[in-house]
Structure 1
Amino acid sequence: MSDSPAIVEVHLLACVHGMWGQPSHVTRMAEIMRETHAKAEDGVELDVLVAETNRQAHTYDGVDWGAERVVQEVKDRIAVIETPGANPRKKVTRFSIFGYSLGGLLSRYAVGILYSTGFFDDGKVKPVNFATIATPNLGLLKYGTFLSSVQHTFGPIFLSRTGKHFYAKDADEWGAGEGKPLLEVMSEKGSVFYDALAKFQSVTFVANAINDITVPFITASAEAYDPFVAYTRNGVEINLDEKYAPVIKSFQLPSGPAPTAPARPRKFSRAWWRAKWNAPSKLPPPLQFAFPFNIVAWALLPILFPLFVATAMTNLGYNTFHSRRRIKLLESSGQGNRSAIVSFMQRVERRVEDTVLDMSNDGMNDEYMGPDAGPSNMTTASPSRAGTPLPPLPGTSTPLKEKTRPPRRMSITYTPLADPNSRYQDSYPSTDTTKEKQNQPLLTETQRRIIANLNTLPNLKKVYVFIDGVPNSHATIVCRDPKGFSFHRRGEGVLRYLADGFEM
């Protein structure tokens, strides 16, 4: 009988913030996860890591280098958890990761690094929950507007390496010489990024249905059509979850013509002025004041706006300059796991080539050896790990048990927006108006391929969120700053939905 002390299993969850972000942006997410799973479940404890090394200007350094930092933080945290001689002894046996905004792309790349370097091999660590929240999975979208054209022209320049990834201007660096941008490579079946995601027990894309001007619905949900773009006019019926509002429980597009919108008041009429007066302010929160100070703010806008633009452009240029210097230092130092990812992808390509060759040889053997050829002449496939029991922990004699605790809530499943086979077609429901079609993004062929690829992920679930009455719902969806902006608390239902569905 072994005298080794019992080992406590640990489920490590990493939370990753977004562009220009800081760890506090996902603090409320981490708090709710800790509150919900404060007690060990079936002998497994939850440990939550809030990634810190990519804060603010470091988010300019690209999806790949940002993910490298996240991976290093994960490894450092595991080293602390598994400190030799600690009492009780702990062992990380499960891993999950949630990424907000850009953090979702970092998370997708990070699990590719972990997968390619053997982190999940032989059941050492089980990948469990993966979620992106308001993440530009297709990159940043282009619309048929002048402002959108300006953003797509200058974004890759003023956002350094991350801007190239956002706008798919990095095709010279990825795809084994095939000229593919990183986001497309990350979506392809057979890539380390796709195969790593496919290993997770649960994969969730959370998207704002409306009012997210930073990461609109289509790129966050990986869908080709936005049914909510004209929700006030197209007659879509939206039902929120009673417990997890603003999470959408179900929605239904009308089968017939859209209802007639009420007539708008004549310009400069009393009703028109009343509607303008009662409308939510379009100014950023720091410039929203009560009467009469709001009049002063609007009067100063012609002066403040050019100053704001000049300051923003200077800041972007400064941060991009320093980001490019950091990237050169990183590349010259030979740090990172890119070589491991590249060699892993090359091994996969060789395996595919070998499989094709074997199949060809088998066909030739069948032809020449005849129907009586024995089974010894057939290629044997490698057994799947799906049903293999987890190995025992060091110091124990019994294998890890698969957890069977039922989830705290039921999953939400929406009716598909379009048949997967017709995702490449520009087909809109009959209820769409010309203006609604104009408000749909101008998807590139690359983005359409990414959509098709991502929607083949096993265990993929999508969650849509309806946050109205705010100028931009991007921060609200994760309660990014509830102390500074009370309306950010409206996103708490989203975080509790994720926490209650979190499989330990």
Structure 2
Amino acid sequence: MSTTTEGNSVATTSANLNNDPDHLLVLVHGISGRQYLNVRLMVKQESLKINLMSAASASNAYSLTFTGIDEAGMRLADEVRQVVKQTKSLKRISFLAHSLGGLFARYAVAVLYSPDTYTSDQHVDTENSMMESSQRTTNFSNGGMIAGLEPINFITLATPHLGVRGKNQLPFLLGIQFLEKLAAPLAPYFVGRTGAQLFLTDGEPNNPSLLLRMASDCKDEKFLSALGAFRCRVVYANVSYDHMVGWRTSSIRRESELGKPPSKSLDGYRHVVDVKYCPPVPSDGPQFPPEAVKAKETAQNTHDTQNIVEYHEIVEEEMIRGLQQLGWKKVDVSFHSAFWPFFAHNNINVKYEFLHNAGAGVITHVADSIRQQETSSVLAGSF
């Protein structure tokens, strides 16, 4: 994991009056990727005048992303522990992850989570926390630490939170039922355990798939509690032209919740077309009912379209119910007016600046969101 340090303290009221970084931003790439490449663009934003250390994950390069979301998440967690151990000045932590990296990060934060309360020099957010606290109806936002640090932002860009099974969830298959049916059994041959997990066919028939477990608190991994510990959770989703990840799965929405996206960009943020805060929705959490067990077994052993659709619909609904127990800020992005709109999946994180610079407005929006959270923390500490 390589690191870069940027910025100065926001104000003299900050607890950190020197140039030692106190906020760790973990950057995580997606499938078949390598060290996160848009660090330079990220830290160029003048608004990020804070003691921020950007740490780009390097433990899951290339084919290591095929070994499973759980194994990649464990490696990422080990990287974070090493950085925290080596940098004694750190007090806060945020994650910014692209594509499959968002699932790696979700697993890693559960591994790094502890229910410890914040220390006396850590402060609660002002406006955003008040908004979320007033609407909390679950027990998953009661604080805690990630790698011993105060969790601030958890941000994903075009991440398949619900997997890639289902109509248009893997857009390069063009929504053709035959291709989508064929993709699930073939995926493990091309992308290993990760493929089975993304298509929700991993594990024994009587056990829920990994992504379904990650939408709840399990005995050993507190997936929802770890996410709930973050002050701000944001999902950025491409509404179209993303060949790898569909709008529904990247924005954690049901098909019925997708409307016609605005065509006009927000002022100052080109191609960012909509921002909504979705408060927590109370529920009993995700379940794995007997009909899901039967449907999963059938989906694993046969290729009957009806059974596959039935299993996916059950599991997707349960994942949504689980994840919606937390509040999320959902940011919709549209590259329909970009010169190369079909590069949307890499535009959203500006993978290569010379080729994917259309996403610069998205990165500016991300940077301003991070700055806003950091500033509110400093202001809270000054009173």
Give yes or no for TM over 0.5.
Answer: yes
Which of 135, 142, 151 matches 1:127? 151
1:414 to partner: Cα distance: 6.3
RMSD (CA atoms): 3.1
- For 1:340, the equivalent position in structure 2 comes to none
**Which amino acid in 1 is paired with 2:111?**
I
Q: Does 1:449 align with 2:318?
A: yes
Q: Is the 8 A contact 1:217 1:226 kept in 2?
A: no
- CA-to-partner distance for each residue in 1:413-448, whole Å, 9 max, x for gaps? 2689xx999xx9xxxxxxxxxxxxxxxx98521011
For 1:59-74, what aligned pairs fall within 5 Å after superposition?
59-74=65-80
Matched position secondary structure for 1:203: strand
1:28 to partner: Cα distance: 1.8
- For 1:479, the equivalent position in structure 2 comes to 350
Evaluate the alpha carbon distance shift between residue 6 and residue 478 of structure 1 in structure 2; reply closer, same or farther with a 3 A threshold.
closer
Unpaired runs of at least 5, structure 2: 1-15, 118-143, 168-175, 287-308, 375-383
Tell me, in whole angstroms, the C-alpha distance in 2 between the residues paired with 1:67 and 1:117: 19
Matched position secondary structure for 1:471: helix
Q: Is the 8 A contact 2:81 2:147 kept in 1?
A: no
- What is the aligned residue count? 291
**Which amino acid in 1 is paired with 2:25?**
L
Tell me, in whole angstroms, the C-alpha distance in 1 between the residues paired with 2:149 and 2:277: 31
Evaluate the alpha carbon distance shift between residue 477 and residue 156 of structure 1 in structure 2; reply closer, same or farther with a 3 A threshold.
same
Q: Does 1:136 align with 2:160?
A: yes
The TM-score with structure 1 as length reference comes to: 0.53
Structure scoring higher RCO (CA < 8 A, sep ≥ 6) equals: 1
- For 1:21, the equivalent position in structure 2 comes to 33
The TM-score with structure 2 as length reference comes to: 0.68
Which of 175, 197, 209 matches 1:181? 209
Q: Is the 8 A contact 1:51 1:73 kept in 2?
A: yes
Tell me, in whole angstroms, the C-alpha distance in 2 between the residues paired with 1:35 and 1:49: 16
Tell me, in whole angstroms, the C-alpha distance in 1 between the residues paired with 2:238 and 2:199: 20
- For 2:126, the equivalent position in structure 1 comes to none
For 1:17-166, what aligned pairs fall within 5 Å after superposition?
17-23=29-35, 26-29=36-39, 31-33=41-43, 35-36=45-46, 39-40=49-50, 45-82=51-88, 91-116=89-114, 120-121=144-145, 124-143=148-167, 145-166=177-198
Q: Is the 8 A contact 1:209 1:228 kept in 2?
A: no
1:123 to partner: Cα distance: 10
1:57 to partner: Cα distance: 1.0
Q: Is the 8 A contact 1:205 1:461 kept in 2?
A: yes
Tell me, in whole angstroms, the C-alpha distance in 2 between the residues paired with 1:39 and 1:237: 32
1:75 to partner: Cα distance: 1.7
1:6 to partner: Cα distance: 7.9
- CA-to-partner distance for each residue in 1:214-261, whole Å, 9 max, x for gaps? 1010110111117779x6xxxx65332021121113xxxxxxxxxxxx
Q: Bigger radius of gyration, 1 or 2?
A: 1
Q: Is the 8 A contact 1:36 1:499 kept in 2?
A: no
Q: Is the 8 A contact 1:243 1:493 kept in 2?
A: yes
Unpaired runs of at least 5, structure 1: 83-90, 250-411, 425-440
Which of 369, 373, 376 matches 1:501? 369
Q: Does 1:462 align with 2:330?
A: yes
Evaluate the alpha carbon distance shift between residue 413 and residue 97 of structure 1 in structure 2; reply closer, same or farther with a 3 A threshold.
same
Evaluate the alpha carbon distance shift between residue 490 and residue 123 of structure 1 in structure 2; reply closer, same or farther with a 3 A threshold.
closer
- For 1:242, the equivalent position in structure 2 comes to 267
- For 2:303, the equivalent position in structure 1 comes to none
**Which amino acid in 2 is paired with 1:200?**
F
**Which amino acid in 2 is paired with 1:451?**
I
Matched position secondary structure for 2:263: strand
**Which amino acid in 2 is paired with 1:215?**
V
Matched position secondary structure for 2:352: coil
For 1:57-456, what aligned pairs fall within 5 Å after superposition?
57-82=63-88, 91-116=89-114, 120-121=144-145, 124-143=148-167, 145-172=177-204, 179-189=207-217, 192-225=222-255, 237-249=262-274, 412-413=275-276, 443-456=312-325
Q: Is the 8 A contact 2:248 2:258 kept in 1?
A: no
- CA-to-partner distance for each residue in 1:277-322, whole Å, 9 max, x for gaps? xxxxxxxxxxxxxxxxxxxxxxxxxxxxxxxxxxxxxxxxxxxxxx
More deviation, 7-16/212-221: 7-16
Q: Is the 8 A contact 2:45 2:367 kept in 1?
A: no
Tell me, in whole angstroms, the C-alpha distance in 1 between the residues paired with 2:324 and 2:39: 26
**Which amino acid in 1 is paired with 2:165?**
L
Tell me, in whole angstroms, the C-alpha distance in 1 between the residues paired with 2:241 and 2:254: 18
**Which amino acid in 2 is paired with 1:214?**
M
1:450 to partner: Cα distance: 0.5
Show structure 1 runs of 4+ deviating over 4 A. Answer: 5-9, 116-124, 226-229
Q: Is the 8 A contact 2:48 2:367 kept in 1?
A: no
Which of 346, 357, 367 matches 1:489? 357
**Which amino acid in 2 is paired with 1:448?**
E
Tell me, in whole angstroms, the C-alpha distance in 1 between the residues paired with 2:360 and 2:234: 17
Q: Is the 8 A contact 1:246 1:494 kept in 2?
A: yes
Tell me, in whole angstroms, the C-alpha distance in 1 between the residues paired with 2:264 and 2:39: 24
**Which amino acid in 2 is paired with 1:56?**
Y
Tell me, in whole angstroms, the C-alpha distance in 1 between the residues paired with 2:177 and 2:162: 19
Tell me, in whole angstroms, the C-alpha distance in 1 between the residues paired with 2:179 and 2:231: 40
Tell me, in whole angstroms, the C-alpha distance in 1 between the residues paired with 2:43 and 2:208: 37
- For 1:319, the equivalent position in structure 2 comes to none
